[in-house]
Amino acid sequence: MKNLITKVEKGEKLSIEEAVLLYDLDIYTLGKLAGTIRENLHGRKSYFNINRHINPTNICKDICKFCAYSANRKNPNPYTMSHDEIMNIVRTSSKNGISEVHIVSAHNNQVDLDWYLDIFKRIKNEFPNIHIKALTAAEVHFLATEHKYSYQDILNMMIENGVDSMPGGGAEIFDEVVRDYICKGKVSSSDWLKIHKLWHNLGKKSNATMLFGHVETRKNRIDHMIRLRDLQDETGGFNAFIPLLYQSENNYLKVQEFATGIEILKTIAISRIVLQNIKNIKAYWVTSTTNLAILSQEFGANDLDGTIERETINSSAGADSKNGIELKKLVELIRDSEFIPVERDSLYNELKVY
């Protein structure tokens, strides 16, 4: 283990086998290693943005076992927003000073392609300074397949209609066996990576996620991170990596043992160590709770996402995130943990240091 620690301290790339061994280190050693990398990249700054999440529909042709959001037997309340409803939300949120609107939906085959794309144009025309982060790679795959377009066609249409960057959702776990079990029929791991590569080649940025704490193994997580590391070496297009903790309520995935706080912190720290070519590691308070997200700052995380205002996907599965978090509270939490709150835009340009 001493040789492994030395390799980490030198910033050398780890193999899958070496990175899995990091889990055997005690939590304090891992925290110190990840914290040093964080400190070298960001000092004591912790980033967030003022954003609004909008989830315009929960009608989905796919049924992922971990999902509590899509309309099915466990959530018999289907809805699809009109564009006017969405615009009214954006108008209200714009008065609260949002710099980003984050739009992710289910895979709704009861609406046409224009329903997905036209809203971006309307938002951009009325609010040209609001960054539009929209459409996961899973949604891109769905739209391309459903409407018989190539991935490149859909990505080009997104840009033409005002989308500025892509969120990292739909990645789940890249291991094909696990993926076949938890989200059969969804975009494949290779196509998820292909879509983000095409997006990066268009000069655009995106995020990357990993859903963990369900039926995956530690090796599955490391394999996932290393595939992202390899693509980042090639394109440099990922803004941030976001480990998403599985939420257990109202879904069909029967998980017997849930991730402990130590396991979560170790995973965040290891992601910071393995993904040294992705500058930002996000502790997404929506899935991890604000307390654990704040603690994650000591384990390599330098970003806490944002105020969100309203969130329905993870809250449907039990996360305490339905009404977002107040800006004042988020700033105070960061400051009280002896980090420096820094408001950023969607591309990590600093807007205000608190």
Q: What is the pLDDT of residues 176-187, one digit of tens each?
A: 999 999 998 899
Tell me the per-residue pLDDT of 211-239, one tens digit each, with 9 for 90 and over.
999 999 999 999 999 999 999 999 999 99
Query: Across residues 90-113, what is the average pLDDT?
Result: 94
Q: What are the φ and ψ backbone dihedral angles of 320, each rounded to 5 degrees?
A: -90, 65
More confident residue, 293 or 320: 293
Q: Confidence band (pLDDT; 50, 70, 90) for 311?
A: very low
Mean pLDDT (whole number) for 193-212: 98
**Sheet containing strand 280-281, strands side by side:** 51-54, 100-103, 131-134, 165-166, 205-212, 238-245, 280-281
Tell me the C-alpha distance between 89 and 94, whole Å. 9
Does the pLDDT at position 73 exceed 60? no
> Domains (ranges, CATH) in the chain?
2-353 (3.20.20.70)
